[in-house]
Structure 1
């Protein structure tokens, strides 16, 4: 058996990505959604109100596909559409309070446990963990962007 060329933290991070994907799938199922619809709902819960076009860009989907996703989520009471008061042609969509509560009810135990664990660390370690996770998130975003660019070619 050969030693891994990656630092144990990098390997652990890969395992975390795998568990995050599985957690996302289970949360979607518990909310009665398919994974695509849940990802749209999750994006809305994190971003706040956005146009369908902006949501489509974030999801890497077409506006027509995203409109269908929003319609399915709206019929389930998970999103609401709002006309822009300054430009009535523009419509924003947002996660409903009930949708936000549903997501948080499922994620709260994990968030609370992680928060308690981080708060128990010495302050200097808390900063290091936060910095590492911030860098890991940016690396993941950059990698996703690179993969998406390769798909577009």
Structure 2
């Protein structure tokens, strides 16, 4: 496949990434959050309870920034903090059930129609799509690791 024949796919992927960013911003607005707080809330909703330190790692921010984010999310009722009994210094953060439900309500319509579209595809096309998306994820992870390394340009 020539480079020029791949351009429509590359253009579609760029447009998809842009739409994901725009959708993420809109969902944050619907929840009354800024984008960073929304990403933190999604991390908690997707992964389950995390320590403040682990959430900071996920977000790539400092402990102080994570505390400020957590404070804002807690004010909205989106996050709960639970102190560990053996070590009261250890705080576990969780997305509230209401926050998780609100995120689900915002994403379900898209997930539903995408599922319908995928179910309508023949099995061989689904296999091709999954293979392409798997490779794309691997390439993106590798690219992210390069960008995150000290040797990045």
TM-score calculated relative to the size of structure 1: 0.87
Gaps of 5+ in 2: none
* Match runs of 1:116-135 below 5 Å: 116-135=116-135
Pair 13,67 (structure 1): closer, same or farther in 2 beyond 3 Å: same
Aligned to 1:36: 36
Deviation at 1:46, TM superposition (A): 1.1
CA offset digits 1:77-103 (Å, max 9, x no partner) = 111112234544321111111111111
* Match runs of 1:1-153 below 5 Å: 4=4, 6-149=6-149
CA offset digits 1:31-51 (Å, max 9, x no partner) = 100111111111111111111
Gaps of 5+ in 1: none
Residues 133-142 or 96-105, more deviating: 133-142
Query: Across the two proteins, how many residue pairs are aligned to each other?
Result: 151
Residue aligned with 1:82, SS: strand
> What root-mean-square deviation, in Å, do the aligned CA atoms of Structure 1 and Structure 2 show?
2.2
Structure 2 distance, partners of 1:15, 1:115, is 20
CA offset digits 1:110-140 (Å, max 9, x no partner) = 1101111111111232232223223322322
Structure 2 distance, partners of 1:152, 1:52, is 28
Structure 1 distance, partners of 2:31, 2:105, is 11
